[in-house]
Amino acid sequence: MLIHRVIPCLLLSPSRGGLVKTTRFAKPKYVGDPINAVKIFNEKEVDELTVLDIDATREGRGPDFGAIEELASECFMPLCYGGGIRTAEDAFRLFSLGVEKVALQSAALRNPSLIREIADRAGEQAVVVSIDVKRGWTGRSQLYSYSGVAAGADWRAAIRAAVEHGAGEILLNAVDRDGTLAGPDLALIREASQIADVPLIAIGGISSLGDVKAATDAGASAVAAGAFFVFHGPHRAVLITYPRYEELRGLWSSAA
C-alpha cells in the first residue's frame, strides 16, 4: 500500500457532454466520456477516484443520480462524488448507489451543520469538504467559491469550521494553479497542513511525480490531479494516463 494516495480528479460537465478540464476554473476543454475514463483507470488499478460535477450548483440542480449510479457501477475503486449535494438525503442516496465519499462545498459553507449530519450517520471518513483558495493581485489568498457562497472569506476559518463539524478530509484546491501544470502551491499546502488535523488532499498544478512528492513533503496527506492524468505533451493532447504502482511507491520508498 502507498504511503500517500494519488487521486485522479475528473470534472463532469453534462452541459458540455461529458468530462472537461478547466484552467484556473475557466476555459473548460472537453476530454472525453466519463465511463470510458473510469474503465481506463480501472485497468490501471487506481486506488481512488474523485468526480466533481462543476455544473450542478451553478445550474441550481442536484446530482444526476442516474448518471452517478452508472458511473459507480463501472468503478472498481472507491469513488468520491461532489456537485449539487444540498441535503443529507442527497448524500445518503449517493452512498446507496455505491459512492463511498461525498465532497461538499457550497452547501457546507452555507450550512456547516450539514457536515455533522452526514458524518454522524455515515462516518467522518465519508465526508470531504472542498476548500478552493485563490490569490488576489496583492498575493493575498482568499476563499474562492464558484457559486459565490462566502467568496472572499478567510479560507483558514473555513477549514477549521469544516473540521470542527466533522469533515474527515479537506480537498484543498489552489485555483491559480488549476490546469496550469505549473506545480503545486507549496506555501499554501504548508499553511493548510498546520490548520487541518485531518487528511489534507492537495490539488492544483501537479505536472510530474516530483510535484506529487513535493506536495506530500509540504504536508499533504494525499495528492489529486486532473490535467496531469488527462493531457499529454506540449499541445495538451488528451490521453488518460496514470503512473505505475512501482513509480509511485518509489517516491516514498526512502521514507518507508
Residues marked as catalytic: 132
Report the candidate in 157, 92, 152, 79 with the shortest Cα–Cα distance to residue 122.
92
CB of 63 within 8 A of CB of 85?
yes
First vs last C-alpha separation in the chain: 11
* Distance from C-alpha of 252 to C-alpha of 164, rounded to nearest angstrom: 31
H-assigned helices in 32-153 = 34-43, 65-74, 88-96, 106-110, 113-122
Q: How many residues does the chain have?
A: 256
Q: Is the dihedral of CA 106, 110, 111, 112 positive or negative?
A: positive
Beta bridge partners of 201: 171, 222
* Distance from C-alpha of 21 to C-alpha of 81, rounded to nearest angstrom: 16
